[in-house]
Structure 1
Amino acid sequence: MKLSEDAVIKRMDFGRECDEYMKKMRGEANWLNRLERELIVKRYLTLEEPYDYDVYNEMGMSERQYYRIKARAFYNPSSTVLRPF
């Protein structure tokens, strides 16, 4: 029984670590402007995994505009979204 107990504990720890990481990511997204934040949240911080074209169609923007905003969100010097915690 010890092996199954260890597996349950590891799974619970992993879930807690994921929750903490997502909380940090949401906090980091607050540094972005409204469109950048909306894009990042819809694309990366939801339970479902939408494709890029789903997100830019839902946001009502062109593909070109979507990728420009996405690049700006990730490469903005004031953004720490991609920096390790």
Structure 2
Amino acid sequence: MVQQLSFELPEIDRQATRDAVERALETARFYKEVGFVPRMPPVSHSFPRTDADFIHGQNNNRSAVEEAAVYNVDEYEHRRQVVEQVERAVGRLGPLERKIITKKYLEQDEIPDYCVATELSLSERKYYRVKARAIYKLAFSLRIEVMHEQK
């Protein structure tokens, strides 16, 4: 007799997943809108106290200029990657899903759902159904879906 394998797939936590996707979309919108303002090092300079400090840097730490430069490069790259990842995921959505997500979350002004639905000539029910489907697609595309705890 052949035994059938059975296993349970974890159930998605819909609210937590939606919240995670909305945070990712808002973060990307914010990064695009604000851009990046580089951190500037302090104007005053502290001189090394000993010859060893001069050669190796004080306590082998980076100088304020180096810290600012590293932060600027790392933070700029992080923000660029976040925006690029979200834009790529949104680009994979269907045309109507992409319009809804772009208008609701990625344009500069926050627009209420009913305005987006009206602008796209959608019934409220269809709007929410398509939006929910788009959010779950984005969650899996961005790998930020949240599963319920296994009991």
Using structure 2 for the length normalisation, give the TM-score: 0.42
- Runs of 4+, deviation exceeding 3 Å: 16-20, 76-79
Give a deviation string over 1:3-35, Cα, whole Å, max 9, x none: xxxxxx78xx86x45454233211111111110
1:30 corresponds to: 91
Mark the runs of 5 or more structure 1 residues left unpaired by the alignment. 3-8
Percent identical residues: 33
May I ask how many residue pairs the two structures share in their alignment? Answer: 80
Letter in 2 for 1:29: V
Is contact 2:85-2:142 (8 Å) kept? no
Distance apart, 1:58 and its partner CA = 0.5
Q: 1:40 aligns with which of 101, 116, 133?
A: 101
The normalised TM-score by structure 1 is 0.69
**Distance change (3 Å), C-alpha of 1:61 and 1:44:** same
RMSD, aligned CA:
3.2
